[in-house]
Amino acid sequence: MAKLSPILKQATPVVAARGEGVQLFDEDDRRYLDFTAGIGVTSTGHCHPKIVEATQRQIADLVHGQYTTVMHRPLLDLVERLGPVLPEGLDSLFFANSGSEAAEAAIRLARQATGRPNIVVFHGGFHGRTVAAASMTTSGTKFRAGFSPMMAGVVVSPFPDAPHFGWPQEQATEFALRQLDYTLQTQSAPADTAAFLVEPVLGEGGYVPADAAFLDGLRERADQHGILLIIDEVQTGFGRTGRFWGHDHFGGRPDILMTAKGLASGFPLSAIAASEALMAKAWPGSQGGTYGANAVACAAALATLEVIEEEGLVANAAERGAELRSALERVAEKHDAITDVRGLGLMLGNEFRTPDGTPDGATALAAQQEAARRGLLLLTCGAWGQVVRFIPALVVDSAAIDEAAGIWAQSV
């Protein structure tokens, strides 16, 4: 009998049968509070009626058009609808299916547009699992171990990871920018550097926000040297952090923006956005793909944008995020093992450390597993797996937050 490959490690034993809002039900109809949202994807909640209706209607009309063969209405409408939410000047879009593909598309564009080979990435960043995306990923050795040689031309510089260094944010940022200048002097001369690639909040790397001074510093150096700034909003976009884009908290003005996850409420869709002038520098045919911008996924994205606006989900992420943070801080006060509660909006992490300050993945995992047994689904992240993260759908209400915090308090 065939078996599912053991390389797929499941974070919980749940076999999901159906979902509704922030709840998942297993095959025995046991209810779970889902504070993973499919790794920050189902932001409108499981099976939001508007997403269900829009996609059912689209399936009956057209499933797959293949957008380098024929155009279709959901894609044209989506491009128009995305216009007002995109950062100023980024008026041209390319669509693919996953965050990793968005990362690939972004670096293809950056290299072609600048004629330069190198991409400077930042320690703890996660950009996906294809070989190129994994080459730019430094949030854990497991994402690259055993499949070297990786893509050439990736240079790693420090992220202002204040919790990791145990420094005030200002000091971490000053260090990261000084090191970046050193990197540009010693490892990747500006004339060889196509782009900086950064997450506004480290996701898989442990839910560590950047700050305004760091993103401003990247922007300044990018302008000075003709380097492109790529901001990876795959996990932080579409309201997750309580602003529409994660970098809206800080500024930083991207030349290329990557998005996926919350874009289409669970349907596979990703995109990069750039100015038309920049996109025009990519060679025709260098970007594409059989499944990109699938018609049903585009219909889901259109409905997602409507739901986000109609239900005020960005504001809800900020308000419910503040409630969740306070609740998590109250739990942390009672448990010495939780040394930090951090993040933005509804992207919050609890860091576990041993009394001597060592990142404590084992205790984090035990708490995450106990929470699952008690009916609360969570995930870990961070290089040591030492951070338990809370990323519920943006439709979450105060009652679900209270319930989740109650289960968490019993699980730690």
Q: Is 199 in the site for ligand PLP (CB under 6 A)?
A: yes
136 vs 405, which CB is nearer to ligand PLP? 136
233 vs 351, which CB is nearer to ligand PLP? 233
Say how far apart CA 352 and CA 363 lie, in whole Å.
7
Rounded least distance, CB 104 to ligand PLP, Å: 9
Among positions 34-53, residues that touch ligand PLP (CB under 6 A) are: 39
Q: How far is CA 140 from the centre of its chain?
A: 16
Among positions 108-137, residues that touch ligand PLP (CB under 6 A) are: 126-128
Token couple for 108: 């293809």
Residue 268 DSSP class: -
Among 19, 87, 99, 209, binds ligand PLP (CB under 6 A): 99
Q: Which residue has the tokens 């870990």?
A: 380
Q: What is the DSSP string of 117-176?
A: -EEEEETT----SSHHHHHT--S-GGGTTT--S--SSEEEE----HHHHTS-HHHHHHHH
Span of 42-50, 66-74, 95-103, 382-390 interacting with ligand PLP by CB under 6 A? 95-103
Span of 96-104, 290-298, 349-357, 381-389 interacting with ligand PLP by CB under 6 A? 96-104
Rounded least distance, CB 61 to ligand PLP, Å: 26
Specify the DSSP element, H or E, that contains 292: none
Rounded least distance, CB 100 to ligand PLP, Å: 3
Q: Is 11 in the site for ligand PLP (CB under 6 A)?
A: no
| x/- track of binding to ligand PLP for residues 233-272 (CB under 6 A) | -xx------------------------x------------
Q: Is 232 in the site for ligand PLP (CB under 6 A)?
A: yes
Residue with smallest beta-carbon separation from ligand PLP: 99
Residue 342: φ, ψ to 5°: -150, 170
Buried b (16+ CB within 10 A) or exposed e, 181-217: eebbeeebebeebbbbbbbbbbbbbbbbbbbebbbbb
Cβ distance 109 to 281 under 8 Å? yes
Specify the DSSP element, H or E, that contains 17: strand 16-20
Query: What's the one-letter identity of residue 379?
Result: L
Rounded least distance, CB 178 to ligand PLP, Å: 25
Q: What is the CA radius of gyration of the chain?
A: 21
Rounded least distance, CB 261 to ligand PLP, Å: 7
Rounded least distance, CB 97 to ligand PLP, Å: 8
Say how far apart CA 137 and CA 133 lie, in whole Å.
6
Rounded least distance, CB 244 to ligand PLP, Å: 16
Span of 197-205, 247-255, 348-356, 393-401 interacting with ligand PLP by CB under 6 A? 197-205
Binding site for ligand PLP (CB under 6 A): 39, 98-100, 103, 126-128, 199, 203-204, 232, 234-235, 260
